[in-house]
Amino acid sequence: MPGWSATLTITPSTIYDCHNSEGTAVLTWSGASGPVQIHALKPDGPAVNGFAGTSGTATTGNWVSNGLQFFLVNRAGIIEASATAQVFCGATANTLNAGLQGGSYFPLQVGNQWVYRASARGTFDYYTIRTITRTEVINGKTWFVMMDGSNLIGKYRGDNNGVIYVATDTGEQVYLDPTSSAFQNTGYSGPLGTFSDALTENVFSGLNFDSSTFVRGIGLAFFNENLDTGSSGGLVYSLQLEEARLNGIRLSVPAPSIHLSIEDTILDLTSKKAPNCPIPCYFVACYIAPGTPDPPGTYRPCAQTRIETTAGPGDSVQLQLIDPSGAVTFTTTAATDAKGNSFQYIRLPLYTSPEEFSLNFTLLPPGDYKLTGRLLKAGMETASSTIDVQVR
């Protein structure tokens, strides 16, 4: 069996700069047993180069497609190494990896979405959502289309050097070049957190002063346009990133939330179809002492509820069952954990009694009830969820 251990690599490892959905690659090999040749598609497929020494390079034309295989073959027809091309025309490096390192300052993938809090002169603050909805091929190059609802924001593409281009009526223009002296490496701190790797560009154009900040792996995090004209100057338009959904990962501002569920919204007590939760007896003499469990045959109905919350430290979670008249038939309150979160199952009694484990209890009368979960901060409601429940 051959003892060589040749390698074959493709540069760039991922090809973003394409024409007609294909790109160019440099193939590098080393450690071969002797003269070798590179073939595409299959070991006896089209030759990329002639036979050459134990190491070397070969450059393809603009015909490399995603998934195309290359084989390093010796004169005996034996495969010594192989490699597969990765081609993602116009896209950018991984959105989030290794703590954002290695990602693009403007991630281009279909489905990526950014939510901004927008401010403009003469209007109330509002939210705007920008989404990469699709790709288009223009003059043989793949562009990513960004929309805000039905409004076009722009068409962008990236190349192998991390440069982002924008399509204009007069052709493509550089939108963001990480190596340009126009950008300064800065940190960024905003609603989504603090990031050390960011680029800021300040542009003076006539009476306008624009400032943009891009965070590696996330994209445009801040934009501000000011008009420098004395008393009539000031803010024209600004964007502040509040949430981003990138390559299946969601970054968002922590916000109180509560999710409430119950095992069944129709609770049939008359036919005793709701779960029975009597207090059990675990030893022979348990009915003799006071505070004894329920006697055999007792029907003490209940329902299982589930609450999951995202909140702040010190917040509390309240669960209530409200009858058709608006009266509260059951209530319980629990604190969130040290991180302000809560995940718990709570047994909901479908009866009323003067004491929690009293043998003197009354089943809830039929009617339409509401099960309500509330998230409270210093007694003030920050989030709630309600389920309609029918008791029969």
The DSSP secondary structure of 63-96, one letter per residue, reads TB-TT-EEEEEETTS-EEEEEE--B-TT--S-SS
3-state DSSP call for residue 309?
Answer: strand
Measured CA to CA, the distance from residue 144 to residue 214 in angstroms comes to 18
Residue with tokens 């003076």: 204
Percent of the residues in the chain that have a pLDDT greater than 70, as a whole number: 90
Does the structure show a pLDDT above 90 at 287?
no
Does the structure show a pLDDT above 70 at 273?
yes
CATH class of 257-391: mainly beta
Q: What is the pLDDT of residue 145?
A: 97
**Confidence bin at 230 (pLDDT 50/70/90):** low
| Arithmetic mean of pLDDT, 185-213 | 86
Contact 109, 115 (CB under 8 A): no
The mean predicted confidence, pLDDT, of the chain is: 86
Q: What is the pLDDT of residue 240?
A: 94
3-state DSSP call for residue 348?
Answer: strand
Q: What is the pLDDT of residue 187?
A: 84
pTM value is 0.61
Contact 109, 132 (CB under 8 A): yes
Q: What is the pLDDT of residue 297?
A: 86
| Arithmetic mean of pLDDT, 61-86 | 92
309-346: per-residue pLDDT in tens? 877 777 888 999 999 999 999 999 877 776 667 778 88
CATH class of 7-84: mainly beta
More confident position, 343 or 304 = 304
Cα angle 129, 130, 132 (rounded to 5 degrees) comes to 140
Does the structure show a pLDDT above 60 at 210?
yes
**Domain locations along the chain:** 7-84, 113-252, 257-391
Q: What is the pLDDT of residue 98?
A: 42
Q: What is the pLDDT of residue 310?
A: 79
Neighbours of 145 (CB within 10 A): 17
Q: What is the pLDDT of residue 292?
A: 63
More confident position, 133 or 94 = 133
Q: What is the pLDDT of residue 91?
A: 84
The answer to whether 7-84 and 257-391 have equal CATH topology is yes
More confident position, 77 or 354 = 77
Q: What is the pLDDT of residue 40?
A: 94
